[in-house]
A and B are shown apart, each in its own frame.
Chain A
Amino acid sequence: MTAIQIEEAATGAVRTAPERRTRPRSSRRRSVLVSIQIAIVVAFLAAWQIGASAGWISTFLFSSPGQIVTVLAQNTGTGELWTDLGVTAQEVLIGFVIGALGGSLLGLLLWYSRFVADLSAPFITAIGSIPVLAVAPMMIIWFGTGLVSKVVIVAFSCVIVSLTNAYRGAQKVDTDLLDLMRSFGSSKTQAFTKAIVPGAMSWVIAGLKLNVGFAIIGAVVGEFISSSAGVGHMIVTGSSSFAMNQVLAGVVVVMAMVLVFGLLIDLLERILLRWDHR
């Protein structure tokens, strides 16, 4: 055997052996986890429903799974649910693209100038420390009660997290890699597009993931303050008329939105970071 063959044989063994050992175990572990998780949800809903039906739990205060499903079915029938969902989804998507993607891009671009980055650092921290709730009413006054104000609120909720994550990701890129680029005679823009952007991508994605929740919270908060439609509108009108069915139906819709949106980001991650998913 030559050294190459030995090496190949060795790496072949290293690569396949642990996979063969761990894959069945980890997939079994995963299916056990998921089964238990589903069991917990089912048990919780069943206990709630049984308690409500038997009169141990006040449906006026706590509603019941059955009643929530009824409200969802009714609103689906009238088309109201789709209108609310559509309005909120639109606010979230546009706001997310502007805030989270725009913030990521800005954060990456800050790599170009350490001076600008250091100069803006305290301002970024200051803006990041403002609670959305505190400024949302002002946004409504500035931008009206329609789509624009909600988009601004959503974008504001996302921008700083994405910006700081992307900037940190850009800083974490191996400086030896940048030296290598320079040794090839690369321009700063080539170093940016070929080393910084892909190198920071896992940080950017992590920022996007965090922002899924923040974006939806932002939209709901905006709708709480002033709106004529949307899931937040559904919740706030429900609670003002003591219709807990409607409030909780709205909460279920919000949870579903976060779930679906999160899955979309996971898909994006699988595409952009496919080299890391082998």
Chain B
Amino acid sequence: MTMSHAIEVQGIGKRYGDGPLVLDGIDFHAKAGEFVSFVGPSGCGKSTLFNIITGLLAPTEGRVLVNGTDTTGNPNRSIGYVLQKDLLMPWRTIMQNVVLGLEVHGVPRREARERASALFDTYHLSGREDSYPGQLSGGMRQRAALMRTMVTDPDIILMDEAYKALDYPLKIQLESELMDTVKAAGKTVVFVTHDIEEAVTLSDRVYVLKAHPGQVVQEIEIDLGTDSHAINERRLAPAFNDYYEAIWRSIGTGSRTERAA
């Protein structure tokens, strides 16, 4: 088949200097519009993998294809990312922060502001355009960070523990909003987390990683049998527990193998 995936990672291995392998033979792909998660224990190289996919870090071996083009080691405009840290610039207003990517891309100021203005409603930040990040709550800042990524209209959104620092109700709220937005816009999402529940409720597919070195131990298709984007409803879907257990067991197997080795 010649159709290329939105993102495809082939045989990624990474070691820092002469150190041990952090990642070993990672293969994965995400189809356009698919929501794919990586779950694994700490030390499984999630963040390293994340940086390799964004192109900020070059792998020791293997390659990264975005829409069929080799982007290994080069940041690519089709990929946007959101981290746990919102990384808003404290000296910029929310509006100025949101248009940062457009500014870098050379979009004229006015057009950039118009494009950003249209999003403030969707992200529940209307009236906060001229606030500084220091005046906003954690949830609002995380929304602003997502806006900053979405306004550049990337095909693929990478998220690294994006909601880890938020309290539970807010996390559920933002994740439901996230699903609404990315599904409506047909975005491909690669979501990195250590939280199994988060992975099951959000994803179409989950890759389970093990640590030392980071390797994929299992790939699980998720079908919760509901079209709802509300996380609390997805969480209560009958199929949820089976997936949760399967991933839990899979992570357990990974760490046992590690101990045996």
Contacts and interface: CB of A to CB of B under 8 A. Distances in A.
B89 A190 contact: no
A194 B101 CA distance: 11
A27 interface: no
Nearest to B174: A3
Contacts of B134: 275-276, 278
B109 to A, nearest CB: 13
Interface in A168-188: 174, 176-177, 179-186
A195 interface: yes
A177 B87 contact: yes
Most A CB contacts (10 A, CB to CB) among B51, B83, B87, B152 go to: B87
Nearest to A177: B87
A128 B55 CA distance: 41
A11 B166 CA distance: 13
Contacts of B104: 181, 184-186, 190, 194
B21 interface: no
A278 B134 CA distance: 9
A181 B56 CA distance: 10
Interface string A4-45: 101110110011000000000000000000000000000000
Across the A-B interface, give the 5 residue pairs with the lowest CB-CB distance, nearest first: A11-B137, A3-B173, A184-B104, A184-B101, A186-B104
Contacts of B124: 4
Interface residues of B, number: 36
Interface string B83-121: 101010111110000001101110000000000000000
B54 interface: yes
A3 B87 contact: no
B140 A183 contact: no
9 contacts: A7-B137, A7-B139, A180-B81, A181-B104, A183-B54, A183-B75, A184-B101, A194-B104, A199-B89
A198 interface: yes
A121 interface: no
Q: Which range contains the number of A residues in contact with the other chain? A: 20 to 34
Interface string B63-90: 0000000000001110111010101011
A198 B91 contact: yes
Given A15-B135, A182-B56, A275-B90, A7 B170 contact: yes
Contact of A176 (B87, B100, B139): B87
Contact of B79 (A3, A183, A275): A183
B132 interface: yes
B172 interface: yes
A225 interface: no
Contacts of B87: 174, 176-177, 180
A10 B101 CA distance: 31
A201 interface: yes
A273 interface: yes
Contacts of A6: 169
Contacts of B132: 275, 278
A183 B137 contact: no
B85 A3 contact: no
